[in-house]
Amino acid sequence: MADMKKEKRKGINQWQEVLNILLHNPNAIIGFVIVAVLIILAILAPWISPYNYLEMNLAIAKQGPSAAHIFGTDDLGRDILSRILYGGRYSMSLGFLSVGLGAIVAMVIGSIAGYFGGWVDNLLMRMMDVLSAIPGMLLSIIVAAALGTAYHDTVIAMAIGNVAALSRILRAQILSIREKEYVQAAKASNCSNFRIIFSHIIPNSVMPMIINCTSRLAAALLFCASLSFIGLGVQPPEPEWGAMLAGARGYIRTYPYMLISPGIFIALSVVGFTLLGDSLRDAMDPKLRK
């Protein structure tokens, strides 16, 4: 019990140290501000959008930026600003859900492989080798083509690409933790394997998972936009940023503003999550802190 309490206090102190480092890191602050603003805009979209994102008016189609339509209108007369605000809900939620779902599946696979070892570990890791052999984007395209273009299908397609790498990270952590004294004490007190894994091992090995999940959010947003752009993700009339780019690509020379606005928001989200993920990695890695 003393060892377990000591580990918990150590974990709390470590998180406090990480937070202190992040608060003094300009890149972390910039990344957090960008991500926070984008999330707030997406949440408040129903209240701050000047128009209905589905409302079409061909009389004002293809109008450039103006006081009435800050980002202009698309080829169907829909307000681009309103569609971008609502599009943030699709793009951001797809990124969070796909990484989150991939992390949950990876936790189950990695914890079972790392804790039990032996033939179980060998079997699960060989399966992960097969997934790792296929590039993440290509794997997402294959799954999306098989499942379809519905929202939940896109989440599954993107999540599968994260499972192999994340499960290996957790497995490596568990291999070094499963022989700790507090784990042995839990075994001696007749705790079930399920309780040992999810109450003692995973909470003490989750930090590298958080770092990688934060870093993977930037790639997930790009994957999301790419799938929609090639017709395998969220499709019109839903205002996902990649789908907006795909719908406007025919007007890149005549009405470039149609592509610039969603492109800027995709770039901002990627930059924000990249800065935040890199800063979090630097703050949590003892070698990089030194």
C-alpha 3/C-alpha 11 separation (Å) is: 12
- Whether residue 193 contacts residue 103, with contact meaning beta carbons closer than 8 Å, is answered with no
Which backbone phi and psi does 68 adopt, to 5 degrees? Answer: -75, -35
Those residues whose C-beta lies under 8 Å from the C-beta of residue 8, and which sit 6 or more positions away, are none
Give the global pTM: 0.84
Look at residue 2 in the predicted model and tell me its pLDDT.
47
Tokens of 189: 């007190």
Q: Which domains, and CATH codes, for the chain?
A: 26-42+77-289 (1.10.3720.10)
pLDDT along the chain (290 residues), means of 10: 50 67 84 92 92 89 89 91 92 90 88 84 88 81 82 85 85 79 75 75 76 84 86 82 88 89 92 88 63
The pair of structure tokens assigned to 37 is: 């603003």
